[in-house]
Amino acid sequence: NAQDIQGPRFGKGILNISGKDSTWSMNFTTRFQLLGSGTWQENQDGGTDFNSNFLVRRARLKFEGFAFTKNLTYKLEIGLANQDIDGASYYTDYADKIIQDAYIQWKFYKNLSIKAGQAKLPGNIERLISSGSLQFVDRSLLNKEFNIDRDIGLQLLNEHYLTPTFLIREQLAFSQGDGRNVTVGNMGGYQYTGRIELLPLGIFKNDNEMEGSALEREDKPRLMIAVAYDYNDDAVNTQSNRGDFMGIEENLYQTDITTMFADVVFKYKGVSLLAEYANRSAEDAIAKDDQGIPTGDVVRTGNAFNIQGGYLFDSNWELSGRYTHVDLDQEVRSIMEENQYTLGVSKYIVGHNLKLQTDISYATFADQSDMVMARLQLEIQF
C-alpha cells in the first residue's frame, strides 16, 4: 500500500531508523517463543507420572543502536513473558523484573570499550548466546545451575590480534553482584568477572560463535576457546548473583562465591560443537544465622560438564545431540548427580528468526527414577 513503510530483511529488526543528520540510529525489534513440553517419570506406585506445560516461554522488545557518535552504542531490552519477569521481592521493590538489558557502551580508544548499566556478565558461552539463537529448545542443565546471568555495573571490553588471524578478546566486569533489577542497593560485597576468548583460526562469520548451530556454514574450521572466572565477594544468593536470597532474620547470610567456566566452540561447514565445564565453590556454603545454626539455605556448589553438537543439512534441517552431567556437592542437596542425554531436531525456516525445534531428553538421577522429557518450540523474531 501507499502508506506502507519499508522494513529490513526478515530477522534484521522491525525498523531500522536513522536519525536526522545521522546523529543516532535505532533498530527496534520483537520476538516470542511458544513452547509445549511433556515429562514422563515413574512414580512410587510403579505407574508413570505425566506432566505437560504450554508456555509463551519468552516475549521481548529490543531497542539498540548508536547515539551521538558511532562509538557510543546502547541497548534496551525488555521481557514480557511471565518467566522473563518473575522474581519480584523486597529487593526489587516487589515489582516485576521487566528490564533485561539497559546499557550504554562507549568505544573510547581503539578496540577498547566500556559498558555501563545492566547487561549479561561475561560468564559461560551458553548464557552469552541469545535465548533466540539456541541449538536446542532451551539451554542445558549446566547453564541452569551455574550461569551468572545479568548484573549491573561496569564492563571493560577489548580485543586484539596475536597474529593476523589469531584474535583474543578480553572482558572484565565489576558489578553489584546481587542480580538484575535490584533496587535496594548493594548487599554484601561486589562481584568481579573476567572472561578471555581465544579464536586461533580466525573470526567466525558475523560473530556466529555467539549463536547455536552452523547456519553460517564456515568454509574453514573456526574455533573459540574461552575461560571465565567470577568472584562474588560476600555474596547473598544461593547461586552467586542468582537463585534465592539467603535471609537470616532481618539480614542476609554472606559468603564469598567463586564460579569458573571453560568453554569451546567449533564450527566447520554444517558441523557445530560446543563444550563447557563449570565449577562453583563457596567459602562456607551452608548459610548460618547469628548463632551459627544452619538456616536451610545452601550455596549450590559443585561442577558440571556439557557437550553438544549438530549437523546442519543443506535443507536447513539439523540433527543435534547433547550430553550434560551435573554434580552438586553432597552437602548442598539431596539430588546430587544428574545425567541428561538429549536428541534434537530443528528446522530453521528463516535461520534462528523463524524456526521449529524439538528435542527429547532422557535424564538419570542419583536418587530418583529416570525421566523422559519431550519439547516442541516455535520461535519467531523480526
Residue nearer to its own copies on the CB measure, 63 or 277: 63
Contacts of 253 (CB under 8 A, 6+ apart): 236, 246, 247, 287, 288, 289, 295, 297
Q: Minimum distance from CB of 279 to its own copies (Å)?
A: 27
Q: In sequence order, what E strands does 138-252 have?
A: 150-161, 167-175, 191-199, 218-235, 237-239, 242-245, 247-248, 251-252
Q: Minimum distance from CB of 89 to its own copies (Å)?
A: 9
* Residue 158 vs residues 22, 76, 147, 322: alpha-carbon distances, Å: 26, 22, 22, 32
Sign of the dihedral through C-alpha 306, 168, 230, 212: negative
Q: Minimum distance from CB of 104 to its own copies (Å)?
A: 6
Contacts of 309 (CB under 8 A, 6+ apart): 271, 272, 273, 274, 320, 321, 322
* Residue with cell string 541428561: 340
Residue nearer to its own copies on the CB measure, 21 or 219: 21
Q: Minimum distance from CB of 76 to its own copies (Å)?
A: 6
Q: Are 127 and 139 in contact (CB under 8 A)?
A: yes
Side chain identity at 285, as an amino acid letter?
Answer: A
Residue nearer to its own copies on the CB measure, 23 or 206: 23
Q: Minimum distance from CB of 343 to its own copies (Å)?
A: 22
Residue nearer to its own copies on the CB measure, 28 or 166: 28
Q: Minimum distance from CB of 93 to its own copies (Å)?
A: 4
